[in-house]
Amino acid sequence: MTVAPLAVLFDRDGTLIIDVPYCADPRRVCPMPAAVPALRMLRAAGVRIGVVTNQSGIGRGLITAEQAAAVNAEVVRLLGPFDTFRVCPHAPDEGCACRKPRPGMVLDAAAELGVPPARTAVIGDIGADVEAAAAAGAAAVMVPTAVTRPEEIRRAPVVRRTLVEAVEHLLGPR
């Protein structure tokens, strides 16, 4: 991205918060170490921020929509408000348009924010996040974790070690 994005969308699990598979308990929500300062930087720069998260546990019957909403509310409580919060509740085999790596949530979030996808960036920890961004015409930055596969890292257009480094990359020189 040659110009700073007008909106940055974050994956939730493994990106903004420590990944607890199929988390149904808000008490288990723990922000990633650089989440607070990264979000603070974007807010200070006037960049709109949002979350785009696959929550297949709902579609698989492992957690309820209410439990997922309670976890999301805790994310907001700990990390501050987001301009949009998109959730795909579908199981992988449902063929929905919103589940990453499909672009549905990215496109919907950008439209809600009134920002063209080309001026939107997605930050995530796995290939599906990067692929959803590319499919939507948005920029992508991968911040790998221990579960990110090496081939996903190799395919990512931009890789940074922390959320702060990812945001610094997107905002460019100040």
Q: What is the rounded distance in angstroms from the CA atom of residue 7 to the CA atom of residue 138? A: 10
11 is catalytic: yes
Q: What is the rounded distance in angstroms from the CA atom of residue 45 to the CA atom of residue 27? A: 31
93 is catalytic: no
Number of H helices, E strands in the chain: 7, 5
- Choose the catalytic residue: 11, 83, 125, 129: 11
Terminal C-alpha separation, the chain: 15
**Which residues are the active-site residues?**
11, 13
